[in-house]
Chains A and B, each alone.
Chain A
Amino acid sequence: MAQSSAVQFDAEHHDVGLSVWPFTVGMAVLLVMLGFMSAFQWKLPMVGMFVGGAGVVGILIGLFGWISQVYAHKFEAGLSKVAIIIFILSEAALFGGLFSGYLYNMFPAPVWPPANTPAGVPPLGLALILSVVLLSSSATMQVAENRLEKGDIGGFKLWLSVTMVLGLLFLAGQASEWTKLIGEGFTVSTNAYGTFFYTVTGFHGSHVLVGFVLMLFILLLALGNKINKQRQTVVKACGYYWHFVDGIWLLVLSLIYVLPYRNF
Chain B
Amino acid sequence: MEQAKGFSLKEWIFATDHKKIAVLYLITSLTVFVVGTLLAAVIKLSHWSPAMRELIGAKFYNVSFTIHGAGMVLFWMIPVFLGFFANLLIPLMIGARDVAFPRLNALSYWAFAGATILAVLALVLPGRLDVGWTGYPPYSLVTDANISLYVFIVHLLGISALASAVNFITTVITMRAPGMTWGRLNLAVWGLLGSFVIQLFGIPVLAGAVTLLLFDKYLGTNFYNASMGGAPVLYQHLFWFYAHPAVYVIALPAFGITSELISTFSRKKIFGYTSMVIAICLITFLGFDVWIHHLYTKGVVAWANVIQSFLTIIIGVPTGIKVFNWVATMHKGSIEFRAPMLYAVGFIILFVIGGMTGIANGLLGTDVHFHDTYWVVAHFHTVLSMSMTLLAFGGIYFWFPKFTGRMYNESLAKTIFWLLLIGSLIAWMPLYKAGLEGMPRRYWQIPAQFQEIFKITAVGGFMLILGFVLTLYNFLASAIAGQKATANPWGAKSLEWTLPSPVPSYNFKTIPVITGGPYEYGNPEEKLEGQPAAEAV
Residue numbers of A with Cβ under 8 A of B are 1-3, 5-6, 9-10, 13-23, 25-27, 29-30, 33, 36-37, 40-41, 66, 69-70, 78, 80, 82-83, 86-87, 89-91, 93-94, 96-98, 100-101, 104-105, 108-109, 114, 187-189, 191-196, 198-199
Contacts and interface: CB of A to CB of B under 8 A. Distances in A.
Nearest to A40: B218
B148 A91 contact: no
Chain B: interface size category: 35 or more
* Interface SS, B side: helix
B179 interface: yes
Contacts of A189: 220-222, 228
Interface in B181-232: 181, 200-205, 207-209, 212, 215, 218-223, 225, 228-231
A205 B17 CA distance: 36
A22 B177 contact: no
B148 A199 contact: no
Given A10-B511, A23-B13, A2 B180 contact: yes
Given A22-B16, A104-B237, A193 B106 contact: no
B392 interface: no
A21 B200 contact: no
Contact of A15 (B98, B173, B205, B220): B98
A86 B209 contact: no
Contacts of A9: 96-97, 175, 511
Given A41-B218, A94-B207, 7 more contacts: A1-B173, A41-B127, A87-B166, A90-B166, A97-B241, A101-B212, A104-B234
Given A10-B511, A109-B229, A195-B230, A90 B203 contact: yes
B455 interface: no
Interface string B89-111: 00000011110111111110111
Contacts of A2: 175-181
Interface string B236-269: 0110010000000000000000000000000000
A23 B162 contact: no
Interface centre among A23, A86, A193 (most CB of B within 10 A): A86
A192 B230 contact: yes
A100 B180 CA distance: 40
A101 B176 contact: no
A15 B14 contact: no
Contacts of A5: 174-176
A96 B101 CA distance: 27
A108 B151 CA distance: 28
Given A97-B209, A105-B231, A14 B106 contact: no
B11 interface: yes
B222 A98 contact: no
23 contacts: A1-B173, A6-B177, A10-B511, A14-B98, A14-B506, A15-B506, A18-B15, A22-B16, A27-B110, A29-B156, A30-B117, A33-B155, A33-B156, A37-B152, A83-B166, A93-B200, A96-B205, A188-B219, A189-B222, A191-B228, A192-B228, A192-B229, A192-B230
Contact of B103 (A6, A14, A21, A37): A21
* Interface SS, A side: helix
B156 A192 contact: no
A93 B98 CA distance: 28
A70 B11 CA distance: 19
A19 B11 CA distance: 9
Interface of B: 10-11, 13-17, 95-98, 100-107, 109-111, 113-114, 117-118, 127, 146-149, 152, 155-156, 159, 162, 165-167, 169-170, 173-181, 200-205, 207-209, 212, 215, 218-223, 225, 228-231, 234, 237-238, 241, 505-507, 510-511
Contacts of A66: 103
A19 B238 contact: no
The list of the 10 closest CB pairs from A to B, nearest first, reads: A26-B110, A22-B106, A192-B229, A94-B204, A14-B97, A97-B205, A30-B114, A22-B107, A18-B14, A2-B176
Contacts of A98: 208
Contacts of B229: 105, 109, 114, 191-193
B115 to A, nearest CB: 9
A23 B102 CA distance: 13
A246 B173 CA distance: 28
Contacts of A36: 148, 152
Contacts of B11: 18
B110 A3 contact: no
A22 B204 contact: no
A23 B208 contact: no
Contacts of B175: 2, 5-6, 9
B221 A40 contact: no
A29 B228 contact: no
Contacts of B117: 30
A93 B162 CA distance: 12
A25 to B, nearest CB: 6
B171 to A, nearest CB: 9
Nearest to A189: B220
A182 to B, nearest CB: 13
B206 to A, nearest CB: 8
Nearest to B127: A41
B13 to A, nearest CB: 6
Contacts of B14: 18-20, 22-23
A27 B180 CA distance: 38
Contacts of A37: 146, 148-149, 152
Nearest to A198: B221
Given A89-B200, A97-B209, A30 B118 contact: yes
Given A33-B152, A80-B100, A189-B222, A97 B204 contact: yes
Contacts of A192: 222-223, 225, 228-231
Contact of A90 (B179, B201, B218, B221): B201
Contacts of A78: 101
A38 B402 CA distance: 44
B511 A93 contact: no
B221 A188 contact: yes
Nearest to B217: A40
Contact of B178 (A3, A90, A194): A3
Contacts of A91: 204
Contacts of B220: 187-189
A22 B454 CA distance: 47
B29 to A, nearest CB: 16
B240 to A, nearest CB: 12
Given A40-B148, A104-B237, A195-B223, A22 B103 contact: yes
Contacts of B165: 86, 90
Contacts of B167: 83
Contacts of A15: 17, 97-98, 505-506
B348 to A, nearest CB: 33
A22 B110 contact: yes
Contacts of A97: 204-205, 208-209, 238, 241
Contacts of A20: 14
B225 to A, nearest CB: 8
A199 B113 contact: no
Nearest to A62: B107
Contacts of A18: 10-11, 14-16
Contacts of B169: 82, 86
